[in-house]
Amino acid sequence: MPASLDPRIEALANAIVVNAHTRNRYDEAKAIEAHLQQEYGYSLQMRAGGSDPLADFLFNVKTGPANTFPLLWR
């Protein structure tokens, strides 16, 4: 993970894959995908912002346009 990444993001990803009892990278990706589909919503407006829009999206806003989701896979 990049050093500048909010540590809560890595902790969230780890919690998701541990709770899903994943066995490999594919299972991890599918678990994170399922979590995003279940816990986050779609909006035409970009509401996340600030100095770290990814963290704002994941922990505060929880809705965003479709172009928000590719940020999660970087």
Q: For 47-69, how does the pLDDT look when each residue is reduced to its tens digit (9 = 90+)? A: 888 888 888 889 998 888 766 55
Confidence grade of residue 73 (pLDDT, cut at 50, 70, 90):
low
Does position 74 have pLDDT exceeding 50, yes or no?
no
Higher pLDDT, 63 or 10: 10
Q: Which percentage of the chain shows pLDDT scores above 70?
A: 84
Other C-beta atoms within 10 Å of 15: how many?
Answer: 11
In angstroms, rounded to a whole number, what is the distance separating the alpha carbons of residues 21 and 71? 24
Please tell me what DSSP assigns to residue 42: E
Instruction: Give the type of residue at 60.
Output: N
pTM of the model: 0.78
Across 32-66, b (16+ Cβ under 10 Å) vs e yields beebeeeebeeeeeeebeeebbbbbbbeebeebee
